[in-house]
Structures are given as C-alpha cells and as structure tokens.
Chains A and B, each alone.
Chain A
Amino acid sequence: MLAQLLVQLIVIIGVSRLIGRGARWLGQPLVIAEVVAGIALGPSLLGWLWPDALRWLFPPDSMPFLKMLAEVGLVLFMFLIGLELDPKLLKGRGHTSVVISHSSIIVPFGLGAVAGALWLYRTLSDPSVPFSSFVLFMGVSMSITAFPVLARILSERGLMQSKIGAIAIACAAVDDVTAWCLLAFVVSLVRASSLAQAGMTTLFAVLYIGFMLLLVRPFLARLGARVASREGLTQNVVAGTLLLLLASAWTTERIGIHALFGAFLFGAVIPKEGGLAAALIEKLEDVTVVMLLPVFFAFSGLRTQVGLLDSAQAWLTCGAIILLACLGKFGGSAVAARVTGLRWREAGAIGVLMNTRGLMELIVLNLGLDLGVISPTLFTMMVIMALVTTFITSPLLRWMYPPEEQARDQLAQAPDAALVPSAYTVLLCVSHGQAGPGMAVLSRALSGERNDASLYALHLLSPERPLRVRAEGALDANGAEGAAGAAGTAGSALTPLLGRAEKLGLSVRTLSFVSSEPARDICRTAQAKRADLVLLGWHKPLFSQTVLGGTVHEVMQEASSTVAVLVDRGLSQVRRVLVPFVGSRHDRAALGLARRLFKQSGAEVTVLHVTSPEGAGTGRAQVDELFPLDEGAAVKLKVVRHASPEEAALEEARAGYDLVVVGVGAEWGLEDKLFGVQRERIVRDAPGSLLLVRHPEGAPALAQGQGQGQQQGATPDAAHAVGART
C-alpha cells in the first residue's frame, strides 16, 4: 500500500513539475500546470489513452488514502491562505475598493444563482438535491476569486505597489472572506437534515468565529510578540501552532461546516505584524505547495471526467457557463471600477484580475461534489471554467494593461499628489546680501501671522567663485571643512536674509549651488518647487543694465509663475501699499499680490486707477472683481485722469507708501524688453520701496470674480497653468 502511495506521489509531483516548466514558458501561473497535470493523470487523458495504466497507478481502493492526504494538504493550504490574508487589507479601504468588491461578488453571485435556478437545476442536477442548496452553491462558485493566484500574478508583473494592484488585492481579500462565509453557510445548509439543525450549525459557527476573534486572537498576538522578539521560531512553537490549527479544523468539522474553514479562520487570526506569520509561512509553504497540493489537484483531476461531456450540447453548456462566469465577475468588477472613476483600461485590468478563479474554485467544487450538490458532469464543466478563467488572466492582462500603460499610470499619479499640498510657495532669489532683509520683511507680510507659506531662499554662485571657496577648504581631505567653507560663502549672501527672517519668526529653507545660467536655474527651481511667486532681489546702486546682466529680464521671460522684483529702499514694514492700476494682466497680478498682503497681514491697500483724460474708468468694477465685497471696503480707490499714468503714479507714490506694487508695462515706463535701460523713472524717482510684478506669458490672467475667500494665492490661475502643463 505504501509502495503504491509513494509511486503515486512520485508520478504526481513529477508530472506537475514537468508541465509546470511548460506553463512558466507560456507565462502562466504554476497552478494551471498542476490542475492540467491532475486532469491528464485522470480518466480524461490517461484513462482514455491507456486505461490499464490508470487502473494500475490509481486503483479504486487507493483513493481513500489519496483523498486523506489531499484533505490534509488542503487544511494546511487554507491555513496558509488565511496567514497571507492581512486584515489591514480589509480595513480602511477607499470608496473604490468597497464598491468594486461588493459588486464583484453580488453580480456573479446573482448571475450564477439565476442560471442555476432557471436552467442548470433542470438540466444538470438531480431532483434529490435541494433546490436552495444548488442555487446558493452555484452563486458562490461563480463569485470566487483566487487570492493566492492573484497575488502571484500581481507580484510577477510588478503591480503590487500600483493603484490597480492595491485595489485588486483588497477586493480579492474581501471576496475571499465573503465567499468562504457564504460557502460555510451553504455547507451547513446541505449537511443539516432539518432547518432547525441548520440554524444550530449557523449559530455554532458564528459563536466559534466570535471565540476565535475575541479570545484566540489577542492570545496569539501576545504569543507573536514573544516569538518575534526571540531568535525565530522554536519547534515547540510550531508544534503548538499546528495543534491549534488541527483543533480549529476539527471544531469546524464537528460543527458541521467544513474543516477547511477552521484552518482558514485560524490562519486569518494569527497576527501579521512581527515575524510569526512570515516564519510559519516559510516553514510550511514548501511541503504544502510542492508536495501536498499537487495531490489535491491530482485527486480532483481523477474526478474530472472530460468524457462526460460527450455531446455538442454539453460543450455548449460548458461554454455558456464560462461566458456567464466571465460576464459576472469581469463585468461586475470592471463596470463598478469604471463607475468609481478609473479609466477603462484600469477598470478592465481589475476585471481581468478578479476573474481569476484558480485553485480556490477547485476547492469549492470538490466540496460541492463531496456533498453531492453538483453532479460529476457539472463538476467537470466548472473545472474547465476555472481553468479557462485562470488561463486567460495573464494574456488578457498583458493585452488590456501593457507595461507602457502601467508606467503611464504610475507617472500620472504623481502630479496629482504633488498638487494637493499647495501652500503658497515663494522662491526668494538672493544675489547679494543687501537685498535680504527687505525680502524677509516682504515674505513676512506675504505669509502672514499663521506662516502659511513655504519660503525657499536660492543663492546661485557664479562659476568663478567656488574656486576661492575650494582653496580655503582644501586643507581638509575629507571635505567637511571645505563644505563648511562653501556653505560659508553661500551663507554670506544669505546671512542678512536669514538673520532678519529669524527675527521675524520666519522659517526659510536655503538652497545654493553653482550656476552658469542663473536665469534658467531660477526658473527650473521655481518650477520644481511649484513656486507661486518668484521674488528677485535688487539693490539700490546697481540698476544699470550691465550689473543686472539681463538676468531679471530672462527670468521674467522664462518663468511660468509670477515674477516680482523687489527694489528695496529700507523696507521695514508693509503697512501702506499703493497699486497703480490701468488694467493689464500684470496690473491684475500686482493687485492680486496686494490682496494677499491685505489678507495675510492687514496691509492698507490703495489702488490708483489712472484713466485717460477722455475715457471713463472701469477701475471700480475691476477692483471689485479682485476684492470681494467684504474686503472691498478696506481698499481705497483713487481715480485720476492723467495723460501719463507714469507721472500720476509717481505723484501718488510720493505720498508716503511703504511699498508700491506695480505691474510691468509701457504705461508705467516699465517695458519688459527695455527693462533696465533708462526709462524706468518710477524706479528711479519713487521714494519708497517698489515691487515690480510680471504675470507669466501664456498663463491666463486672474479669473473674473474669483476669490471668495478660498483662493489665497495671488495668482492661483498661474499655479494651475503650471499644473495643467504637466
């Protein structure tokens, strides 16, 4: 007897591994190979080609031994499945997973039950089978998803971390638990002789689940913590765990639901944190998966008789079952996924993944056959269905969701995440220390009491300068000293800014590096930081073109965010702000900045609207647009008619303002392209500090009437435009 069993094992494991090589070559999971091996060894192929060999290899009287071995293997395997089920997957799932997992059970369950009730019960079942059991069983067997195969496919395709991977695995976990509960219920219904007994079984089952969750789990959590802190698992702990496992399986078998549920439940309540679960998996997996599970597959293969499907009609029925199964599972989850807002490709991929039935379906079917709920013919059809749905998963997934798509989705996710934390970001570009304090004061006013702005100070070193730095720092070989030296020089330009910022309670992150193209590097950094405002420092004696070197002009041309240049004449507070206004997009950006100064630190804003002597002004209307009603009162609007807006602004600027915020533009003598030549009278002659603002090209001007409190950014549209371009 033993010799026979050993020969059987050798043949079974050998053949499955042999076919497994072929499956791997086809890019299929190993399960496929094992199931096919089982079927090939059974009456469908071996028994058909060479009946004597089948009779010699698997004589009927050896079947009970094989069956027992297979069941023990299944108990261990279900324990492993439970171990791999992380309760974290079940908790705290997003809206998407909830919807998909529900619909991926309800739809196929419904389809299966309806098909069972209306059609299969009459054609393929025995009147002795209770109608309700059959219908419920068909429903459950259609809604199975193979969690382990799914996990294997996801990890092989590198999808575990991706969005659809996470959704699919969470849904599969929920499906698994739900399907097993349903199945336990069906089994208890079938086994019970009366309704009262079925009720008792269900009651006991619920009590037992409660006992495991409430009493055994905390105990195991403590055990797990102790084991994890020691050097791995001792054999005693493994033995104890196995004893508990067997006891749990025995209990559920006695209760009247199947031993498999006890094993699964026990696996599921073992804590996944700490090393206990992982160590147990490692110890048990190989023996179970390599040796015992193929026995189970062979055993179900022996019971699969493809020969029973001997008519065209039988094959048609089989095809219809496959179609129905795919329709329910794939359709149910894909449509739900699409409804929750995933793209069709992603939704399709989830549908395909959920359609994998793999070996879990086989377990369910064997149970059904054992209980006599389904006939051998239906069993064979369903086995073929399980095979087909598993087999098509990989190729369909590759077709539906190729690696390029996968990568695109991963990249597409990124900017969304980056767009959310959009604190008002200011990039302070400091070229000389002098400009620092004024910029700190302005930043203070822009970020307000609550400090809700991210401030970055950027200092670019010219390529010639670091040479000196290195000479100073070269003494130290490991570079620590040299680094301090470089930081020192960078610091010397940033120190005044940082010193003032510290006094004002601002936190500024500094950044400095060597750059041969300062303008481009400013723009790139601003873009990478998604800066809402690029603030350039400027210093009093140096506004001839040569010193500017055109950097300001270049930054203004290239930047995709608002650029402002601070001409600092001892700015120490921002109380009174003047905004000369004609109505260009730069003026509106200037007004937006002034609005931020008002909102964040209560600056008093005066808008000087200059109209031409002949035309009437529309200034009030435009100011109202940018300053909503409640704030509008805080803004003083002066309307002047003047032939030269520049003159008018200059006159007003002499009336003692802390800061004049002005958009660039010909009307103020601040033409962008001529910037820094001679005409900037307003810069030369205004007594106070100035902030020259330029709204980026291409970005829409400030939207009409927006800004009901929510939009704090001075140029939210500019920020959106940056985002839209990604």
Chain B
Amino acid sequence: MHLGATLRLLRVDAGLSLRDLARRIGVSSAYLSRVEHGVDAPPTQARLTAIARELDVPPALLMDVGNRVSPYVAGYLEDVPAAGTLLLDIARRKLTGAQLARVRAFLDAEFPLREGRGDEPAPALGPLLCAERVVVQLSCEDYEDALDVAAGRLASALPGLDAAALASGLRQREGEAPSQVGNGVTVPHAFVPGASPAAALVTLARPLDADTPDGQPLRLVVALVDGHPGRARLMRLAHVARLAGRGLADRLHGADGPGRVLELLEDLEALR
C-alpha cells in the first residue's frame, strides 16, 4: 500500500507539518503518521476528501492514487445494479485508455459534475516529456547515479541551470522526505523558480534496492521540475503516483526506446 507515502510526499510539498495537517482535518498527528507510514488502514473517503481539500488537490485524484476506487464503485453498484451492465459492456469491448477518455468526454458533456472546481483532470505527464528526456535501461548501483542521469537530461530543458545544481536540488528535496511512491516508482522533484514544468523519465534495467514504502525495488524514476508552487504542481505529483498505482513501472519496463515509452504512457494516461 503506497497511499501513505504519496500523502506524505504531497504534504511536505504543500509545506504542511504533520501536526498542521492533522489538526486541520481533525485527527491526531499520531494517527496521520501511522497512515503515512502505511501502518494504519488507509483513510476513509471522508478523511481522504478532507486531506485533499487541505492539500488543494482534487479528492478524486487522491482516491485514485490509493486504488480506493473499487469500494465506492461497489457501493454505487449496490445502489444501482443496472450500472453493472454498462461496466460489463465496457469490459467486453476491451476499451483502451484513449477510448475510455472519449467515453468520459461524453459523460462530462452530458452529465456535468456539480462540484465544478476541484475535479478537473490532472495535468498529463506525457507533454512534459520528450524523447530526449527519456532514458531507458539504466543500470547503476546507486540511486544517486540514477538521479544524476535524470538531472543531466532535465538540465538541457532548463536554460541557465547546470546538471549538478539540479541534481543537488533533487537530492535536497529527497532529503526532506523520500519521494518514493511505491510500486517501484520514485518521483524526485525540484522547484526552480520561473521554470516551465518539465519531466525526465528513467527506466532501470536492474531494479535498485531502496527503502521503498512497499518493499518493492525501484524500477522507474520520474523526475519533475516545476517553476510555480501550488495546485498544478501537487496534482502532477499525485498523478504520477496514481500512474504508479496503475502499474507504470511494469508497463514501461519492457520499453526498448524513448518512443515506445511515450506511446505506452500516452495510452496509460489517456484517461486522467
């Protein structure tokens, strides 16, 4: 279970202390700490919604991160059993991500959500990447090396910043709180004032043993750079965590080149 790790990552990036967040959502900091370390059961829908509100990210995104969707869907199916038939239809057609996105677009147009703000789709990862910033089959002995390679690729997208400075920026943030989100994915990120957001993606040929929240070795590094604090930044991070939950590392592991990685990614995140 990696929801806790993601919650901590987002909390630290939102600049909230454990106690602050706990106080704001009305739980004890000990409980929140247990949730973040995955010792306690993941928060209920209501709590997760409260956390999302305090972090200023869409609640649906956080639920998705935790793969906590099925209980709610199950609840809905109990109330409206007919919906099951529709899901069955979707399953029989084996719709891909892109096709599902079209179905969702139709739903949005036909039955708009009442909440409005707060549930806009997360910004996609694909557009932040380009073939130049995708490294495949890195084998190295230390996570630091992977960070350096990612920083090297990212630096060329950021004029005026050199790779070593960026790498130490990434490391510094990593020092404040680990950026592993579980399922073999880590999201090191740095804040570079004024920079336009960019990402670099590194697949590891040899899984790295690292202190991950779920004990799975590291297989994928998604390094993010952002130039503006706030909502979009946190949503990007949460989105990558959600992709990790959907098996991003497994899918990309087989990719043999940047082109293939980008294709797989596009399909995986067509529905955000």
List residues of A whose CB falls within 8 A of some B CB: 155-161, 275, 278-279, 282, 403-404, 407-408, 410-411, 413-415, 417-418, 456, 461, 463, 466-467, 469-470, 474, 479-480, 482-484, 486-487, 490, 509-516, 520-521, 524-525, 527-530, 722-723, 725-726
Contacts and interface: CB of A to CB of B under 8 A. Distances in A.
Interface residues of B, number: 55
B148 A529 contact: yes
B108 interface: no
Interface stretch (B55-63, B81-89, B251-259): B251-259
B187 to A, nearest CB: 18
B20 interface: yes
Contact of A403 (B29, B140, B165, B229): B229
Nearest to A525: B152
A158 B15 contact: yes
A725 B165 CA distance: 10
Given A525-B152, A528-B152, A722 B169 contact: no
A9 B148 CA distance: 60
A332 to B, nearest CB: 28
B135 interface: yes
Q: Say whether chain A's binding surface is mostly helix, strand, loop, or mixed.
A: helix
Given A278-B30, A411-B193, A509-B140, A726 B162 contact: yes
A528 B167 contact: yes
Given A528-B148, A726-B164, 13 more contacts: A157-B15, A278-B29, A407-B192, A411-B169, A415-B165, A463-B256, A470-B256, A480-B207, A483-B206, A490-B139, A511-B138, A524-B152, A528-B167
Contacts of B258: 516
B99 interface: no
B21 to A, nearest CB: 10
Interface string B163-174: 111111101100
Nearest to A484: B206
A456 B151 CA distance: 16
B145 interface: yes
Contacts of A155: 16-17, 19-20
Contact of A415 (B30, B168, B192): B168
Given A158-B15, A158-B16, A487-B205, A513 B149 contact: yes
Contacts of B140: 509-513
A513 B167 CA distance: 18
Contacts of A482: 205, 253-254
A411 B141 contact: no
B239 interface: no
Interface string B200-227: 0010111100000000000100000000
B242 interface: no
B156 interface: yes
B152 A527 contact: yes
A510 B141 contact: yes
Contact of B136 (A278, A483, A514): A514
Given A463-B257, A528-B163, A722-B162, A410 B136 contact: no
A479 B219 contact: yes
Contact of A456 (B145, B156, B167, B205): B145
